[in-house]
Amino acid sequence: MNGIILYGSRYGASQQYAQALEERTGLPAVSWEEVRDFGPFDTVIYLGGLYAGKTTGLAKTARRLPTDHPFRLLVATVGLADPADEDNLLRIREALAKDLSPAIFVRTTHVHLRGAIDYAKLSLKHRVMMKGLCAVLRRKPPQERSADTQTILDTYGQAVNLIDFDTLAPIQAWLAKE
């Protein structure tokens, strides 16, 4: 296998997962911006942070992927939303379908990992977005809030780390299925 792990990370969670996966598999982990030619690879793992429904760097990477090359592709999103929640999973998959061409989307394996947030490290744009999101979420009556919604409100302004390296196991199992 000639594989590579790519990551799109703004605040570090996707990069941490990529580096942990590199240690476990021996495949090199590099930023998505560093690879232009996918010809040498038969296996590509992409880990990208979710921000406002977009996976960091995925759309630009997908445009460079050859549609006629028989590589295997796994996309792992990294975000705060609980992937065990069916509504969250549906929204994540809908966003992935927009970032990937239909020909690539249908042959892609999807995995969803929990990330981290530290409000003190957020860019001004992301702080404003989170403040606006929380203002909208607070308008919902407490009994109508999902567990994720309540967690966002309860932890607003704090550092939260939901990274769990044990959740890389499905990716490692996918790699072993060569």
Q: What is the pLDDT of residues 148-176, one digit of tens each?
A: 888 889 889 989 999 999 999 999 999 99
User: Residue 84's pLDDT is what?
Assistant: 85
- Predicted structure pTM score: 0.89
User: Residue 178's pLDDT is what?
Assistant: 66
Reported as a single tens digit per residue, the pLDDT across 75-132 is 999 998 888 888 888 988 999 999 988 888 988 999 999 999 999 998 899 899 999 9
Look at residue 68 and tell me whether its pLDDT is greater than 80. no
Look at residue 28 and tell me whether its pLDDT is greater than 90. yes
Q: How many other CB atoms are there within 10 angstroms of residue 160's CB atom?
A: 16
